[in-house]
Structure 1
Amino acid sequence: VINRFAGAGISVSEVNNQIEGNFIGTDLTGTLDRGNGSDGIFVANFTQPVGASNNTIGGATPAQRNLISANGNGTPGSPRNGITLDQAANTFIYGNYIGANASGAAALGNYQSGIGIYRGATTMVGGSAPGQGNLISGNLVNGIGAGDTVQSGGHQIRGNRIGTDAQGNATLGNGQHGISLVTVNYTIGGENPSDGNIIAGNGQAGIYIGGGTGNAIRGNAIFANGGLGIDLNGGGVDINDVDDLDTGANNGQNYPVIFNAISSSSTITVQAGMGGPPQTNFNVQFFTSPSCDASGFGQGQNVLGNIPVTTDAAGVALIDINLESPSLDGYFLTATATDSAGNSSEFSLCMPIQPDNTSWPNALPLTFSGPPETQTANVGQFLTRRGEVRWFKLAVQPGNTLLVDLRDLPADYDVALFKDISQAYRTLANDQDLAQLNAELAPPAFSNPFAVSNPFAVSNPFAVSNPFAVSNPFAVSNPFAVSNPFAVSNP
């Protein structure tokens, strides 16, 4: 038991040390705050570029586990971490409880972050083998914080539980982010199922990347966090841009856009799109969750599968894939994209997983949420070429009002509202009577409206020349709910 020192509980400045089997910052029972004034463990050597190396904290067995909690409250206004690595290399942190009590069932947080990583290289926090993952929960700021963009990389965060209790329940969230990076070349999770972290229950983002590039986020279970599941640059959802030429955290990597998620007894058929620079490779990963984040984007509780894609000469990749899964009707599908340099995106918009329908089959169904008196649905745009059309469908009950609010769109977008007239069409005497319904054929999702030959089409009566100047311009008293499975044919 190492507790109540004014400085760090353990300070390491040399090489090839093993720290295991200690209670650092607690009493003998591992349930009471007896914190050291500074870090629980401080690993650093400032006399050499990377002086403290090849040190291991913990191990894969319960006997090797360190309990590192309640440290860092010795200097008012300057809290410290459970573990701090500064100018250290080849550090291995395995199997510890950091910020929880000895049972892993209650918080006993360090006063800054569970782990702080600064200058250095090649840190392994957790691992893929049984017992190597850490429990990093209940800390007052972040679970893991890294904040130096001059790091040389090679850092991996794998197999940990961050924000949960020892059983994986989202009950011991860290006060801010599960993982906070302002740095480069971290790998969070990986390609194998045992690589993934569980990142849940944290007060703000599951993973926040405030700067730096090459931070790959793959194969993690991210859910029930207070902010976005993955947040690039802060400030909310980072909206996609054409050709993805922006900069910032992970170069503002575009997320995929999901068009449809059709369930059956054993598969989910996914139709999606990815936009970016021409002839660029991405790995698109899909996730399912029982609920959608309040933002409408993410999070991703269960990894469903992934697919490599390459954009065409116009910078677009279309995806049509069957993923093995039991029936998940009522769940939501989300996705992320990672480029070949390791830049991962935020989560995409949620798409409800539901059986197939044949009413306007190429239009995206919008799902409302919120209180009955004011329900909302978010729309994501995925248009990369002039003249493309994107169709959405939604049901509005008679007597209600539909308000369309355009925000954050590029210039020169038009919008039009149409009634689904398929039910009324069946009652007409002949096709010529279709004109009285002011009908418009619903073309495929990526079609050119000028190529559709329809003499009865409505000529965009609600066109908007400047979307930034419009706030809720479209009040429709009864736009007819979409309830008929028969699509309108082209007269």
Structure 2
Amino acid sequence: MRTTAIICLLLTTITHVYADTFTVNTTSEGGVCNATTCTLRGAINAALVTPGDDTIVFDIPADPVNENYFSGGTGQDAFQYWVIQPTSELPSLIDITIDGSTAGASVVGNPTIVIDGSLAGDSNAGTWDTLDGLTLLGNTHINKLAFINWFNAGIRFGYFQPNGIPPSSNNRLTGSWLGLSIPYGQASAPNKYGIIFTTESGTNNIVGGNMSTEGNIISGNLQYGIHFNYYLRNGSVGVFGNKIGTNPQGDLAVPNDSTGIILSTQENSNIIIGNELPGLGNLISGNNINGIHVTTSDYEMNLVIDGNLIGTDITGLTALPNREGIQLSRGRNMVVKNNVISGSTGVAELILSTDPGNPLRNVDIFNNYIGVGIDGVTPISNTSRGVYASGIAINTKIGAPGQGNVIANNFCGPTSGCGVVISNYSNNVIELRYNSIYNNENEGIDLEADRFTFNDPGDFDSGANRLQNFPEINNAAHDPDGNRINFNYWIDSHYAASDYPITVDIYAADNDGEEGKTWLASTTFSQSQYIVGNPVIRTLTSQAAIAEGDVIVTTATDAGGRTSEFSPGFTLAGQPDFSIACQHKKITSSPALSCTIRCEAEAVNGWGDEVGMLCTHADSNCSFSPSEEISFGQGELVPFSVTIDHTSVTPGIYLNEVLGSVPTQGDPIERAEVITIHQLADDDYLFVDGFDGIICH
């Protein structure tokens, strides 16, 4: 809710009351703006000395000889545009709107006013300041212009604060192209950067809006599409609905040669990149290195990356790869949510890479599709890991209740797991819960980047997430009454090695039975249970449909937020039950009978309750040895004997049940072995031919 409120503020608080309108009617250079001739430079100078929020529009003759006018194509390929080539940097803008849409439309969709920096040089004489297409210093809106061939950035937001310039706030850039060739935008006409932010304390600065009407295309630049410079802090910026690294259609790469968006800012930069609302997410694909890279120091970033397509085309279903999707190198307080991050060809879709002196802190990663498309199902081919923590990350949560990530279809070669890989820093604290991890080439969770790690006695080893031991499943069965799991487990983690209590998560495994695809349930393992040392038995209600024969895996997460690898898969048995079986089921007897029979009780599918034994025939008395109570505490198969004293004097067939019974809140659970007693008359008993079963008398 807080993020949505900030977005609404950003998108609605930039308003302008226009005082004067200046009409540019020539592409020529010079500072003139009068009744007959008005250049862009002249219009800006005139607006700067006019009180109020001024606007600049365009009405330039379609004169290819005198006005740098270009047109061509037919039908849907028809285009037109004018090129303005300043010979030095244009004046910085305050309280000005420049609206390129007033020059008229081009059928192919390109901006019709192109500001080309190829004649402007590389710096302002005698200064450190490199040249940018336009610099926005406050209350400025740039709409539907193209910026190409600038030595530094096409657009700069603000100046470095040491110059004494006030914070640059309430600026907006919409509908513009930065770094693309004109008119079709299928190749580059690069600036060094598409956009650079260098302002301190500037608030309500927006790049884009709704993609269909206000989004910019920021592609083909020599380094970064958008560069949030080190001096950006204590402000707020929104980046919405842009295409960064692609052509205008969003189906082919026109790469920024390094990274789509890089953030090297200071504290409280308050940047929002995208939003899950329709049209506000960015398409960040096709860039030669990262889609997004955060490389600041140990500052509170307050960064939200939300609702973007990263590494796919505009459909969200086909790869258009960056080398890596998102790389978070340093900083605190970051949220990565609701994104598609797929198609990468490098180390990983999402990298958490830091050095020991600048760990990541307080990072939440949830509800992202990593390795699948926007539908959450379609595999997006890649040759990388899903998530790779190659440095130190503290208080990092991957997954949340009802907002787990899908991390699937990642193929990275034989040396490590390919789902989530956490490197060998012992002070990593990365929590992995509620995610759907499946169909990755190797392990779904890999601590130490060395494939499967076996549990060690007491869990005293050190490494990634302290190499938290996974739960050891002794028995698990499906109980269809309420879709429950009867679960018998143990965790060999000494309280000096793990923070208690430990949370156990149970997942339905993927097709290979090794990764947790669907979260089912959780339970808690306490320090007192560890001290007692007995296996723990729990009956848990599954949050998804399961059945006998399904395979489950588990993880353990200690109270500090360190999650284990997945346990080996365990096949769910059927409903827990017990059975009674006797060695002899038929007895032939004289009128008086006393017969001892050997029997056994068997626990089936993890049955653990005690069973009471009795006989069910009125003509018989039974005694059980060693006890009338069967306990399965010593094993699943318990032998016992029953002595039947049959008292009837009338020959015939008698059915006697050796019955095990367990009381419940309803009817008791009963399992029986039927003993058939064939009682003969005394004369008949003398003839043994045809006697069935054992003979007792």
TM-score (ref. length: structure 1): 0.67
Distance 1:306 1:433 in 2: 42
- 2:344 maps to amino acid: N
CA contact (8 A) 2:469 2:492 kept: yes
State the identity as a percent. Answer: 28
Q: Deviations over 1:166-186 (max 9, x none)?
A: 111251144221100022224
Match of 2:290 in 1: 81
Q: Which residue of 2 aligns with 1:412?
A: none
Aligned equivalent of 1:96, options 273, 290, 308: 308
How far apart, in 2, do the equivalents of 1:81 and 1:431 lie? 79
Q: Which moved more, 1:276-285 or 1:34-43?
A: 276-285
Residue in structure 2 matched with residue 251 of structure 1 by the alignment: 466
Quickly say closer, same or farther: Cα 1:152–1:3, change in 2 above 3 A: closer
The residue aligned with 1:469 is none
Question: Is 1:154 aligned with 2:304?
Answer: no
Match of 1:336 in 2: 555
Preserved CA contact (<8 Å) 1:4 1:37: yes
Q: Which residue of the other structure, out of 347, 350, 353, is the alignment partner of 1:144?
A: 350
- Equivalent residue letter for 1:63: G
Give the superposition deviation at 1:60: 2.3
Count of residue correspondences: 361
After superposition, what is the alpha-carbon deviation per residue over 1:161-209, rounded to whole angstroms, capped at 9, x for unaligned?
1110111125114422110002222433444212x11111111421100
Mapped to 2, the partners of 1:426 and 1:487 lie a distance apart of 18
**Alignment-derived partner of residue 397 in structure 1:** none
Decide whether aligned partners of structure 1 residues 327 and 344 sit closer, same or farther in structure 2, where only a CA change above 3 A counts. closer
| Partner residue, 1:264 | 479
Question: Which residue of structure 2 lines up, in the alignment, with residue 489 of structure 1?
Answer: 639
SS at match of 1:301: strand
Q: Deviations over 1:270-309 (max 9, x none)?
A: 111111114832011111125334xxxx311111111111
User: Structure 1 261/164 Cα, relative in aligned 2: closer, same or farther at 3 Å?
Assistant: same
In the TM superposition, what whole-angstrom CA distance separates every residue of 1:217-253 from its partner, at most 9, and x where no partner exists? 1111111111111000022211111111110100100
Aligned to 1:193: 402
CA distance in 1, matches of 2:247, 2:596: 83
Higher strand share: 2
SS of structure 1 residue aligned to 2:455 = coil
Is the contact made by 1:35 and 1:71 (CA closer than 8 Å) also made in structure 2? yes
Residue identity in the other structure for 1:207: V
Question: Within 2, Cα distance between the matches of 1:214 and 1:226?
Answer: 25
Distance between the aligned counterparts of 2:518 and 2:410, measured in 1?
17
**Helix, strand or coil for the counterpart of 1:193?**
coil
Q: Does 1:346 align with 2:562?
A: no
SS at match of 2:639: coil
Contact 1:65–1:96 under 8 Å retained in 2: yes
User: 1: CA distance between counterparts of 2:596 and 2:467?
Assistant: 50
Alignment match, 1:179: 387
CA-atom RMSD in angstroms: 3.0
Q: Residues of 2 paired with 1:123 and 1:44: CA distance? A: 14
Higher RCO, Cα 8 Å, sep 6+: 1
**What residue number does 2:435 align with?**
220
2:421: which partner in 1? 208
Decide which structure has the larger Cα Rg and report it.
Answer: 2
Q: Distance in 2 between matches of 1:174 and 1:319?
A: 41
Q: What CA distance in whole angstroms lies between the structure 1 residues aligned with 2:546 and 2:304?
A: 40
Q: SS of the residue aligned with 1:211?
A: coil
1:125 maps to 336
Give the aligned partner of residue 309 of structure 1. Answer: 525
Shift of the 290–346 alpha-carbon distance from structure 1 to 2, 3 Å rule, reads closer
Q: Which residue of 2 aligns with 1:229?
A: 444
- Secondary structure of the 2:567 match is coil
**1:238 equivalent in structure 2:** 453
* Greater alpha carbon shift after TM alignment, 228-237 vs 182-191: 182-191
* TM-score w.r.t. length of structure 2: 0.48
Letter in 2 for 1:311: Q
Instruction: Report the 3-state secondary structure (helix = DSSP H, G, I; strand = E; otherwise coil) of the residue aligned with 2:487.
Output: strand
1:8 and 2:224 equivalent? yes
Structure 1: which 5+ residue stretches go unaligned?
73-79, 127-132, 362-421, 435-440, 446-485
Alignment partner, residue 53 of structure 2? none
Deviates more, 1:57-66 or 1:304-313: 304-313
Closer, same or farther: CA 100–349 of 1 in aligned 2, 3 Å: same
Deviation track 1:117-156 (CA, whole Å, cap 9, x = no partner) reads 1121111111xxxxxx000000112110011143251111
Q: How far is the alpha carbon of 1:327 from its aligned partner?
A: 4.1
How far has the Cα of 1:29 moved from its partner? 1.1
Structure 2 CA distance for partners of 1:338 and 1:264, relative to 1, 3 Å:
same
Shift of residue 264 of structure 1?
2.5
> Match of 2:458, SS?
helix
SS of residue paired to 1:243: helix
Shift of 1:159: 1.0
Match of 1:135 in 2: 340
Does residue 511 of structure 2 align to residue 291 of structure 1?
Answer: yes
Contact 1:69 1:99 in 2 (8 A): yes
Cα distance in 2 between the residues matched to 1:101 and 1:53: 29
**Counterpart of 1:202 in 2: which secondary structure?**
coil
Where do 5+ consecutive residues of structure 2 fail to align?
1-216, 413-417, 588-594, 607-635, 642-697
Preserved contact between residue 367 and residue 399 of structure 2 (Cα < 8 Å) = no
> Aligned AA for 2:396?
T
Instruction: Give the secondary-structure state (helix, strand or coil) at the position aligned to 1:122.
Output: strand
Paired with 1:169 and 1:259, the residues of 2 have a C-alpha distance of: 33
In 2: Cα distance, 1:161 partner to 1:37 partner = 25
Give the conservation status (yes or no) of the 8 Å contact 1:310–1:317. Answer: no
Mean CA deviation greater in 258-267 or 244-253: 258-267
In the alignment, the residues of structure 1 paired with residue 220 and residue 503 of structure 2 have an alpha-carbon distance, to the nearest angstrom, of: 48
2:112 maps to none
Q: For residue 82 of structure 1, give the secondary structure of its aligned residue in structure 2.
A: strand
